[in-house]
Structure 1
C-alpha cells in the first residue's frame, strides 16, 4: 500500500509538472472589446513579410474573448478585428506576446489607441520605447513639411538647414534605439528593435547589440534572427 501511495504521488507530480510546462510554453490570451457584439478576431503573425492568421475567435454577443496559442518564444503578434462591415484602418493591435497570461482590453470606437495590454514585460518595454521614439517620428514629419515649403519657395538656405536637422534627428533616433536595446539585453525587445527599427544602421552597432544579448535572449526567436542577420552582413562585407 505504501508503494502504491508513493507511486501515485510521483505520477501526480509528473502531471502537475507537465501542466506547468504546457502553460509556460503557451500564450493564454484573454481580453474584451467593449462595444463589439458581432465580428471575428484574428491572431496574426508575420511570416515571410506577410501577416498570417494563426487563430480566430468568433464574437457573438459576448465581447469578452479567450484563447490559447502555442508560443515557444516571445514574438510580436497582431490582434486583427474583422468588423464585417468596413475595412477600417483602426483594426490591428500590435502586441509583444510571450508565454504566460496576457490580457488586452480595447473598445470598438478606438480599437488601437484605446487598447491596454498587460502581462508582458516585453510589451511594457516596447511601449516605453515607443513613447520616446514617437518624438523622433513627429520631428521627422515636421521637418518633411518644413522642407516641402522651403522647396516650394526655393529657399536653398532653409533647405540645407532642414536637411542637417533631419540627419541629426535620425542619428539621435538610431543612437537611442541602440542604447535602449543594449540596456535591455536580457529581454527579447532588444533583438526585435535591432531588426525592426535600425536594421540599416552601421553593422558595428548591430554587432554590439548582438554580442550584448544574454544567452536566453540570444536563443530566442528574434535573438537567432539577429545573429544570422549580423553574420550574413559580415560575410557580404568580407567578400
Structure 2
C-alpha cells in the first residue's frame, strides 16, 4: 500500500510544480544566439514610461523563458542590457497575446534578425511594417532631394518636393486607416490608430472605433481608442 500512496504523492507534487511554472496565460520562450552573459527585461508602457515586468539573467545559456499574466493583448518590449549602452537597437517590440510566443534572435542583429512566432497580432504588425517601410524610404529620398534643393536655393523644386512629401504622408495615413479597418477583429486595429495616426482627422479615428468587434472594443487599446476619440470630440 505504501508504494501506490508514495507514487500518488509524487504525481501531485509534479503537477503542482508544473502549475507554478506555467503561472499566467502568456508563455514566452526564446533564444538570443551569441549572448553568454547579460540581462533581459520584458517591459511594458505604464502611462508614459517603460516598466520592467520580468527580469531574466543570462549566464552561459542563451535560451530564456518567461511566464506572465496578460490581461489584454498589448505591445511589449524585450530589452537587452548589454552592460555597455541603452541603445534603441537593444529594445525589441513584440505584440503579445495570451498563448505561447517564441522569440529567436541573435546578439549581432538583435532587432533585424528577430523572428517572432505565436501571435496573430504580431504577424499582422509585421505585414503593416513591410508596407509602411516603403513610405518611410520614399520620404527619406524626398528629404535628401529637398536638402539639395535648399542648398542650391531652387524654390520651384523645394515647393514640388514639399507637395510630394505631403502626398506620401497622406498615402501612409490612408493605408494605416484601411489596414485597421480590414483587421477590425484584432487588437492591432486600435493600436495602429493610437500609435500611427493619432493626429489624423477624428472622423477616421471614429470610423475605426465604430468598426471594432465587441471583443476588440473591450481590449486595452480598444478602450484607450474609445476614450481618446471621446476626449477629442469633447475638446472640439
The two structures have a TM-score, normalised by structure 2, of 0.89
Distance in 2, matches of 1:167 and 1:24, equals 49
Which residue does the alignment assign to 1:233?
Answer: 232
Structure 2 CA distance, aligned partners of 1:53 and 1:129? Answer: 27
How far is the alpha carbon of 1:26 from its aligned partner? Answer: 1.9
Q: TM-score, length-normalised on structure 1?
A: 0.88
Partner of 2:30: 31
More displaced stretch, 44-53 vs 154-163: 44-53
Q: 2:115 is matched with which residue?
A: 116
Aligned equivalent of 1:197: 196
1:219 CA displacement: 0.2
Any conservation in 1 of the 2:42–2:77 contact (CA below 8 Å)? yes
Deviation at 1:118, TM superposition (A): 0.2
Rounded Cα–Cα distance in structure 2 between residues aligned with 1:171 and 1:179: 12
Shift of 1:198: 0.1
Question: Closer, same or farther in 2 for the Cα pair 1:52/1:151, shift >3 Å?
Answer: same
Does residue 211 (structure 1) correspond to residue 210 (structure 2)? The answer is yes
CA distance 1:159–1:24, change in 2 (3 Å): farther
Secondary structure at the counterpart of residue 209 of structure 1? helix
Verify: 1:170 aligned to 2:169, yes or no: yes
Q: Secondary structure at the match of 1:90?
A: helix
Structure 1 residues 88 and 60: alpha-carbon distance in aligned structure 2, compared to 1, 3 A threshold:
same
SS of equivalent to 1:32:
strand
Consecutive unaligned residues in structure 2, runs of 5 or more: 1-14
Q: How does 1:133-148 map to 2 (within 5 A)?
A: 133-148=132-147
CA shift, 1:49, in A, is 1.7
Q: CA deviation at 1:24?
A: 10
Q: Would you say how many aligned residue pairs link Structure 1 and Structure 2? A: 219
Calculate the aligned-residue CA RMSD, in Å. Answer: 1.8
Give a deviation string over 1:84-119, Cα, whole Å, max 9, x none: 234444211100000110000010111110000000
Report deviation, 1:72.
1.1
Query: CA separation of 1:104/1:85 partners in 2, compared to 1, >3 Å: closer, same or farther?
Result: same
Q: Deviations over 1:50-74 (max 9, x none)?
A: 1111110000101100110110110
Q: What residue in structure 2 maps to residue 4 of structure 1?
A: none
Which consecutive residues of structure 1, in runs of 5 or more, have no partner in the other structure? 1-15
